[in-house]
Amino acid sequence: MPSMIVAPQPEAVEAGARVLERGGNAVDAAIACGLVQGVVDPQMVGIGGFGSMQVFLPKRGVHKVLEFFSRAPLAATADMWESKLLGQSRDGFAFLLEGGVSEAGHLAVCTPGNVAGYAEALRNWGTMEWRDVFAPAIAQARQGWMVRPHVHWFWSQDQSASGQVNTIDKLRMTATGRRVYFREDGSLKRLGDIINNPDMARSLERLAQGGPELFYTGEMAEEIAADFKANGGLLTMKDLRAYRTSVADPIWGNYRGHRIATNPPPSSGFAMLQVLHILEHFNIGALTHSGTEHIRILTEAMKRMTIDKDRNMSDPTFVPVPTDQLLSRDYTASVAEGIRRGDRLRVSRLERKTERDTTHVSVIDGEGNCVTMTHTLGSPSGAITEGLGFMYNGSMSRFDPRPNRAGSIAPGKRRASSSAPTIVFQGDQPRIVIGAPGGSYIAPAVAQGISNVLDFGMSMPDAVAAPRIVAVSDSIDVSNRIRRGVTDELAGMGYDIKRSPMSYAFAALHGIGSIDGQLEGGADPQRDGMALRVA
């Protein structure tokens, strides 16, 4: 059986493919790819970030979700920022505070989990040595990498109108950022320029030699803690030493006779499943794709999902999440009946538009092992410890600064995640391995990608590239390939339409389809990625 890997960064896909060619398994390839992603897309992910992966190893009887989410510093308190609240992003992803304290700088950082997660995955399910899996990322960091279109687009976005800190200003926050990401004249590096970051190469070399302990209890941990103390951050050696990953069983849903496994809370797999469980009550495949009725049904399903997610999403260790009730057939049937009646839901927020900062990798190897991993910085904090080279996550902005809510700040609490790495089964065989970066747009995008395959019979490349919509606010956001006649009809029904200037918009699906042992990969065109088959 052939192997395949798909991700948004060509350099990282090549690294994972080389691992598969050398006989490594899907876990080895995913981690090697993920480490290179941290080098060549360092504001999306890196060793200062966090994530989760779903692992299916049929010959070993393994099907688990490894969670390595960031955790709020132990010194954090529920009311520490209550007085600083300015608003909430229109997609509900982040809370916006005075001075951007929860999204930029050392105060924005939660305890990173990626190093621990990669290590545990490799130890439990990989076949390669730790230092060998690091080798491609070290080599890439040593030779430098070329600025790609999506990277430059992300750096250049003006988010000031939303109340957010612009990424370019985060890149300027530290001496390392100014050296690495700007030209000698002080201008931001441009498309095709080469990024050299020798400090990151040295950090990866040190981790390859010293193991994950170096990051959490050793010399590197001491350097991190000293930097945060010097810059007024909350992260300490106590946080790093206390960090632990967790392993969970996937949660399950059903759609069109297929079983769907995805990540439990604090990931957003349940939200993705809820959309599909609502759509199950309609003959979606009989509709015109991206037609008026298709979009209307998607919109109301997404709004219901959004309301339920906003109300309930949390770390279930702190606040129970009623997953079974939200996915039940009775509940989703009642939602579907309301959609048939023409009911309109309202999503209320203190709206300000934002973009999200994450990446993904999907892998199937020749033994039928599957990995789907979404990992991220949440949003880049701009904070870089001098000499270490990598940027830390800015994921404190995901916590609700208002006490006594499901998403409120609590010491050691896992930061809720929008990720939904998913495997769709036909019988006992994986049919689709899929996931996406894209914040609050992930769950709607993954649901649409799965529906595109199972309802509309699309190939995987077509399914990930088909026009999408999202309705995670009180508006319908549409990609620029949705027909204007359709949006005119929806506007005539009273819907507020927001048309994206992007032809390929709203998260970035990266998936692999498997039919009778034949693999087809799809990389969303918005993120510069690719799929590679390994014979």
Instruction: Kindly report, residue by residue over 374-384, the tens digit of the pLDDT.
Output: 999 998 999 99
Q: What pLDDT, on the 0 to 100 scale, is given for residue 431? A: 98
Cα separation, 18 vs 446, whole angstroms: 27
Q: Which of 189, 183, 217, 223 is nearest to 203 (CA)?
A: 223
Would you say residue 400 has pLDDT above 60?
Answer: yes
Q: Which of 203, 269, 219 is nearest to 416 (CA)?
A: 269
Instruction: Kindly report, residue by residue over 106-131, the tens digit of the pLDDT.
Output: 999 999 999 999 999 999 999 999 99
Instruction: Kindly report, residue by residue over 295-354, the tens digit of the pLDDT.
Output: 999 999 999 999 999 899 889 999 999 999 999 999 999 999 999 999 999 997 554 444
Better-predicted residue by pLDDT, 132 or 90: 132
What is the mean pLDDT of the segment spanning 200-215?
98
pTM for the full predicted model: 0.95
Cα separation, 400 vs 92, whole angstroms: 10
Would you say residue 31 has pLDDT above 80?
Answer: yes
H helices present in 78-191, as ranges: 114-125, 130-143, 149-156, 167-171, 175-181
Q: Quickly tell me which residue has 């690091």 as its tokens.
A: 134
Collapsed DSSP state (helix, strand, coil) of residue 367 = coil
Q: What pLDDT, on the 0 to 100 scale, is given for residue 91? A: 62
Cβ neighbors of 492 (< 8 A, separation 6 or more) are none
Q: Which of 274, 333, 280, 343 is nearest to 309 (CA)?
A: 274
What is the mean pLDDT of the segment spanning 201-213?
98
Cβ neighbors of 314 (< 8 A, separation 6 or more) are 265, 266, 321, 406, 407, 416
What is the mean pLDDT of the segment spanning 195-223?
98
Main-chain dihedrals φ then ψ at residue 313, nearest 5 degrees:
-65, 130
Q: Is there a contact between 516 and 502 (Cβ–Cβ < 8 Å)?
A: no
Write the secondary structure of 7-42 as one string of H (helix), E (strand) and C (coil).
ECCHHHHHHHHHHHHCCCCHHHHHHHHHHHHHHHCC
Cα separation, 51 vs 511, whole angstroms: 18
Q: How confident is the model at residue 161 (pLDDT cuts 50, 70, 90)?
A: low
Q: What pLDDT, on the 0 to 100 scale, is given for residue 34? A: 98
Main-chain dihedrals φ then ψ at residue 370, nearest 5 degrees:
-125, 135
Q: Quickly tell me which residue has 């309930």 as its tokens.
A: 312
CA atoms within 13 A on the CB side of 255: 35
Range scoring the smallest mean pLDDT among 198-207, 357-366, 453-462: 357-366
Angle between helices 292-312 and 484-492 (to 10 degrees): 60
Cβ neighbors of 337 (< 8 A, separation 6 or more) are 281
Q: Strand pairing partners for 435?
A: 510
Q: E-assigned strands of 217-354?
A: 246-248, 251-255, 258-262
Burial class (CB in 10 A: 0-12, 13-18, 19+), 346: exposed
Q: Which of 362, 272, 271 is nearest to 56 (CA)?
A: 362
Give CA separation, 315 vs 356, 413, 416, 424, in Å.
20, 7, 6, 25
Instruction: Kindly report, residue by residue over 256-277, the tens digit of the pLDDT.
Output: 999 999 999 999 999 999 999 9
Q: Which of 500, 511, 512 is nearest to 468 (CA)?
A: 500
Main-chain dihedrals φ then ψ at residue 325, nearest 5 degrees:
-65, -40
Cβ neighbors of 302 (< 8 A, separation 6 or more) are 275, 444, 470, 471, 472
Which one-letter amino acid corresponds to residue 309? K
Q: What pLDDT, on the 0 to 100 scale, is given for residue 352? A: 43
Six token digits for residue 70: 């960031």
Q: Strand pairing partners for 266?
A: none
Q: What pLDDT, on the 0 to 100 scale, is given for residue 95? A: 84
How do the residues of the chain divide into helix, strand and coil, expressed in percent and rounded to 5?
Answer: 40, 20, 40
Q: Is there a contact between 393 and 228 (Cβ–Cβ < 8 Å)?
A: no
Six token digits for residue 62: 């393994």
Tell me which of 176, 262, 292, 358 is the catalytic residue. Answer: 358
What is the mean pLDDT of the segment spanning 205-220?
98
Q: Is there a contact between 437 and 352 (Cβ–Cβ < 8 Å)?
A: no
Q: What pLDDT, on the 0 to 100 scale, is given for residue 92? A: 61
Q: How confident is the model at residue 159 (pLDDT cuts 50, 70, 90)?
A: confident
Q: What pLDDT, on the 0 to 100 scale, is given for residue 199? A: 98
Cα separation, 310 vs 406, whole angstroms: 9
Which one-letter amino acid corresponds to residue 448? Q
Q: What pLDDT, on the 0 to 100 scale, is given for residue 458? A: 98
Would you say residue 479 has pLDDT above 90?
Answer: yes
Cα separation, 255 vs 368, whole angstroms: 22
Cα separation, 307 vs 315, whole angstroms: 17
Collapsed DSSP state (helix, strand, coil) of residue 457 = coil
Instruction: Kindly report, residue by residue over 55-91, the tens digit of the pLDDT.
Output: 999 999 999 999 999 999 999 999 999 999 988 776 6
Average pLDDT, the chain: 95
Cα separation, 53 vs 420, whole angstroms: 9
Q: How confident is the model at residue 163 (pLDDT cuts 50, 70, 90)?
A: low
Tell me which fold the domain 248-353+419-515 belongs to: Serum Albumin; Chain A, Domain 1 (1.10.246)
Q: What pLDDT, on the 0 to 100 scale, is given for residue 535? A: 85
Q: What pLDDT, on the 0 to 100 scale, is given for residue 170? A: 96
Cα separation, 202 vs 342, whole angstroms: 59
Would you say residue 54 has pLDDT above 90?
Answer: yes
Collapsed DSSP state (helix, strand, coil) of residue 247 = strand
Q: Is 111 a catalytic residue?
A: no
Q: Is there a contact between 471 and 299 (Cβ–Cβ < 8 Å)?
A: yes
What is the mean pLDDT of the segment spanning 139-147?
98
DSSP class of residue 390 equals P
